[in-house]
Structure 1
Amino acid sequence: MLLVLSYMLSAGKCHDGGRASSLGGLRVWRLAVGSRTIPEPQVLSSRRNPPVKSSTTLARPCPSVLACSVRPTLTMVPAWLWLLCFSIPQAFPEAQPAELSVEVPENYGGNFPLYLTKLPLPHEKPEGQIVLSGDSGIPAEGPFAVDSDSGFLVVTSALDREEQAEYKLQVTLETGDGYVLWGPQPVIVHVKDENDQVPQFSQTIYRAQLSQGTRPGIPFLFLEASDGDAPGTANSDLQFHVLSQTPAQPSSDMFQLEPRRGALALSPEGSTSLDRALEGSYQLLVQVKDMGDQAIGHQATATIEVSIVQSTWVPLEPIHLAENLKVPYPHPIAQVHWSGGNVHYHLESQPPGPFDVDADGKLYVTMELDREAQAEYLLQAWAQNSHGEDYAKPLEFHVVVTDENDNPPVCLPRGSSISIPELSAPGTEVTQLLAEDADAPGSPNSHIVYQLLTPEPQKGAEGRAFALDPTSGSVTLGTVPLQAGQDILLQVLAIDLAGAEEGLSSMCEVEITITDINDHAPEFTISQIEPVSLPEDVEPGTLVATLMATDADLEPAFRLMEFAIEAGDKEGIFGLDWEPGSDHVQLKLRKNLSYEAIPHHKVVVVVRNVEKLVGPGPGPEATATVTVLVERVMLPPKLDQENYEASVPISTPAGSHLLTIQPSDPMNRTLRFSLVNDSEGWLCIKEVSGEVHTAQSLQGAQPGDTYTVLVEAQDADEPRLSASAALVVHFLKPPPAPALTLAPMPTRFLCTPRQDYGVVVSGLSEDPNLASVPGPYSFALGPNPTVQRDWRLQPLNDSHAYLILALHWVEPGEYEVPVVVSHNAHTWQLLVQDEVTMAQRDLLTCLRLYSQEIAEPRLLPHSHLHALGPGEEEGPESASRQHAPEGGRLSDPGSRSWEIGPGSN
């Protein structure tokens, strides 16, 4: 079937020669073969073309989107092709005829009926009638009809565009029972306008008021005219003109009229010529004409009466409005007036505010005002024509919002708390409170005073911690001192109306922190440490004492301490150990102790801040004294020799000195000496000095023999500590009698026990060359240790010296004392021979002095001497606890004798 349809479409088009019939709802078309010519009358088509002649009969096209054409020469068509053509209307809807449009001039003066256009009716009209109706399907009543013979749409009488400008028709071909065989065909008939209407003014006489001061060119009157011809055409194109002005003074062109708008305004010449003090009227004759600028056309005239009035457009005084005004709104506040006519008022506010103006120029405020939101407004009022054009410059006036006390003071927010160092001086400014009041500046409503609420003064305290200036809000320190670490909440009341009772107030709060300063020196918890006893052999590094210190400051940096030994340790025996940031220090031993050197120590330790101290310096508690008592470690005594030997002639008399047993360190301790297993009783030893003497004559001893005894030394304080050594005595033959020789110097005699006499030694040389050389002489004992132990030299003058006994007791006998003399780079030795004799107690006549230089004995300057008998010992204090005589001193440390005479002090 599709192939057959395609063939038909490609074969040609089916001519619209068929006639339609209705068979049981199926519309069947019959093709008409052949043609005939239909003569047609003259018509007025939309294009004003001559009537169209057709060589074929008009036929209705196949009602389908598929149009077929069959050549007229064909007389036979296959039956299936006819069946296909008849079935197509069932598958496709009928195509709607195109709309016809035709134009008819109004007021047509020719013959009627006037043929308008030929309708596209079928060439072979089926049996039915042509129906002409309106676009709603209602049969048309009017000057239109269809010529059934020619198929033309005709009009039977003249049309008036002003009555109806357009007609919408439709044409159908229907059966008697109303079945539509063809159509509907829409037709629109436009009635073409002709200039048959005369313009008309809306008023015959126009009256207008013109206010002095109206700007030139601003219309104050708009003329209105109408024309019934078609809008937008030249027939209705109206223009206005001023034909005459009465009076013509002071200028004949006082006014200008816009031709198109009909807007009447004061001309620039009229604006400059118009006497502002003159009030009068003008009469204008105006014309309106159609056809635009063309010379032809219809026209009409009217009269305009213009009254010149005095201007009332004057500025207003400032308007004062109270804020929060409790009145009905809108509330009138002022009025403006434009004395001219045709006025419309316009109001603007800077900044925008709740203001309005009505048609009479009354100004209103539409709501309550808030001075704090906006204290002043600038209002501008315009007088305008109906087109919004300004007659004159706007009036400007101010609206001032008066204040009322409706805002409490507001304290400005603060960030962190305020820090004040402790011990700040009274009067130091802490902060400046600043409260703001949104009410009018300079008015009582914004006059703020301040009142301090907290902290309240303490009971019994004189003064307050803070002082407040009620006017400026300045907070200063009072007389009550504040402690570091305090957090204080300062509450201040800010009151407006200068603090009046009805004033509004707000609470201002300030957080204040009292910061610490380094005003406290560290102190030891105990300034005097109990004595610490340490044995002298304790190892270095031993902890002596731990000292604790405190610091009353709060800031950790201010509590940092450092320690030092301030006194009592010149030798550097002690040291300090502490950790950074620690509050205690350890006193430790750095060197070995020595009881004999220093039996006790008083170590003064000082503590200081690492940071600089503010205020007064450290007090006495910044030092601590540690007393260290050195405990003597008693070692067994040690003698200076492991064994002793002495050689003596067997003729040695009793009391002869053999040797002295000495400790290795004679200054350390006091020893008690004794002899053990002295079977013969030949020897004796002094208990204190250790001098060994013959106790009796050595009867029975043989030359060449040896005699051995044991010497024992015991500590005087600790007898359990002792040392011993063997003393071997070798016996010798007695020496031969010595030859008699001259001594270098005459023999001197001294007494034992020691008396207060001395031997004067002269240093003057017998050599005249040396004696003549000026300068002092110096004296010194010979290098023999025994001589230096037993004797002393004391200067007398530049050329002489005293020779005295150093020991309180010596064995009576003769002694040779070597003395070294130095003078002017020359040195020589004198040998002084002294004879020591036993002195009777309480006698001072035992001293016999024989000398070449001095013939008379000389008494030493000091005559008071504590005399001890043989065997009685003497130390720094005697056994009877008597001290040295006046003018005397120990000959040397540990010595058991006193020195007297010049220079002993």
Structure 2
Amino acid sequence: MGAEIISKGGAVEQCAEGILVNEQMLEHDKENGPRKSLQEPDCANLCDMGITIAMWLNPEGLSVSGPLKAMNFSVQEGGGPRILHQFTLEPPAVSFRMSGEKAGIIDIEAKTGILYINGSLDWETKHVHKLQVESLDGSGSIVKGPYAVTIYVEDINDNQPVFNQTRYFGVVRQNSRPGKPFMYVHATDHDDPTTPHAQLSYSILHHFPNPYEEMLFQIDNVTGAISPSKTGSYYLDPQKQDTFTLVVSVKDMAGKTTNAFTSSVDVIITVMESLWKAPSIIYIKENSTQVHPVNISKVQSNEPGVIYAIFEKEKQPRLPFSISENGDIYVNEPLDREEKDTYTFFVVSKDDKGELVDKPLQIHIVVEDINDNPPVCQQNLTIIEVQENEIGGSNIGTVFATDMDKKDTLNSRLQFHIHSQEPEFPSKSLFYIQQDTGTLQLSGRSLNKRDSAKYSLKVLVTDSKFETICDVEVHVIDINDQIPIFEKSDYGSVTLAENIPIGTVLLEIQATDGDEPDTGSSLIIYQVEKGDPNNTFIIETDSETNRGFIKINKPLDFETMSEYNLVINATNPEPLVPNVEYNASSLTKFKVFITNVDEPPVFLEPVYKTEVSEDIPVNTLVMTVGAYDPEGDSVRYSLEGDVRKWLRIDSATGQVYTASPLDREKEEIYSIEVVASELNNAAQKSKAFLVLHLRDVNDNPPQIATDYPTFFCYPVSGGEKTLIQATDADEQYFYSKFTFSLADEMNTRNNWEISKFNATHAYLSPKHANFEEKTYEVPIILNDNGNPSLENRVNLKVSICKCSSENSCFIEIDRPHSWPTAGQAIGILLAVLIIIGAILAGVFCHMKHKEKNEKSHPKDAKDNAELDRLA
């Protein structure tokens, strides 16, 4: 605790008893305030004990000695013997006496009034010592006092933290939530809990084994809570590694100094399989008669006390499932497979704050079928037509029925039987139905319309439990033994302009058929048999009147075909009976003449596309477009929509050239229109699209993105870094990777450091803490990966500024004058006092030939604290 005596006036006196005294050598606070610790007495005879006096004078001229009064002292524990104060005698007093909590080492020298400690105090044993001091006359009577003298013991960091267990054991579940503690470690420190001496900081020192780059576990440095990290939550698997050993360290001084005490302990962690698992597919029989709700499954979270809930990605009108607070899943009502045969939903677990605890589990429900649906006829009445000449065994039709039960199971298997036939003439077994397909056949003979024109059948359709009757009518129809006959063998001709619209009716034609009306034998189908190779015409039939309508099916073109000689036939959809054939009566003729119409030019292609490099020279041929005029007129070309004036076209040849430099960064796909017009009639014109796709070249240097400001908080403490981004207007091929470097300048490389983060970002960090509060320009060299690459020097503005609590720069407001602030004035005064104190300390050191630089250094923490108190 050695230090030097500094006299305010510079004069030092020798007292009669051999004690060095200066009336200005005792420090105290204003009006009985708490006192700072007083280090040593100003007595020469105490120098023989190896104790030296140290104090700083304050502006009020207080000293280390004075009359008897109540006083407070703060004394660091440990440190050995020291003198606290010297009380001066005031007649008639001749001595002093002290009582109270002396701890066996605190006392006062009766004659001289020197209050001292002859040993070391211990904060852990007693924080405060309360004493009483009084002065006595020659007869031993009290002159003044007693006055209270209180000594506050200041703690020093002399105890190391201790864990409350010699080893810890914990269990964690696979896929546990990252950051959710599953165990705690705890340590204590006997030092003063109100100081950093007992402020503890936990960390993981070692991790055995550690199979990944990141630790699987993490610890809260304040609470000692151990939890899985994000990596651990994902990768922990008892099948791969079921036991881990962590070496957990605890430091006092909040772990912020290298002089802190440290202890460590082993933490053994067992990894267990996750409880949070989706059940396998759940099967539920439809239309259950059980009392609902029915428990169908259960889930369990790794964490206790969670709240379970069900949700669907695709909302249904209703979800007949629920979950209890224990994770039991229930079906709330009977299910109907025919309404919905599968359900998929998710179960989630949340904490009391509504945050997800586990990943959602997907639940699959399959509704099992029972035979609860009867067969259903597909039609109320099935009508089947049978020609008279159908032979026995022919398939004449099919009876269709469905069953809503599950397909391809016995519940939906249908069988068919003929239940009855009306009339039963000429036989009651004229028809046969295939049992498993419903296909209806003639049993053995052809039907005769003269026997009956219609038969009514009832077909019994059954599954394994239900049966249904389907009604069937079999109509006996006349055979096709009459051919269609045209009313005219030649319908003459018609003249049409080539631009007549598609769908225009040119002519109505008519043929008749002698077979039974409204049957396939009498329905007439008209077709162009000859004279229309490109299907330019189409003929539609009115099924009620058998009248035919000839219509335009495709655009007419005089230049391609100016005359059509059509031959049209009339047929039936039903085949003719043997020995009956179509002949000339079923044919007719019709001529169509096409007249020319002046048409606009026609482009050879609707869209002209090409791809060129953006750096091709002006007047480069990029493509040739082509168009022709159907009437043979000459064609002239022009461009429309060329807003950037990049292209020009040869009006005669259709060759397209560049008219000015191209720039992909302005427009990568450039689309305009090409106009082709007749030379002798400019109003006749057509348009086609011209699309120019520009290939990129590396013609833009990289830049620094300016989306956000770059700054560091003042004062710079070291370790800071900020992310900067490079951008490039060129295509990604050229700027997918950037190189960052600092300009080759001494100040730049001494002050700053740049390191790669990824292909487009880098970190900029200061190399030291000696930066002023201002804006710096940091020259950065950027290179892209083009061939050849482009380089750019960018002066990045970096602000060193005072920051708010939100880590953003304060905006400085200009002061109206240059006078120092109150804080600055106090700082200047303190600096002057420190300089004066240092000079006086040097004088005393010279007198005593002792140097104790380490205790008088102006940056000593206690001295700074004392100056702050006096300011």
Q: Same fold (TM over 0.5)?
A: no
Instruction: Tell me the TM-score normalized by structure 2.
Output: 0.31
Instruction: Tell me the TM-score normalized by structure 1.
Output: 0.30
Bigger RCO of structures 1 and 2 (CA < 8 A, at least 6 apart): 2
Instruction: Look at both structures and tell me which one has the larger radius of gyration over its CA atoms.
Output: 1
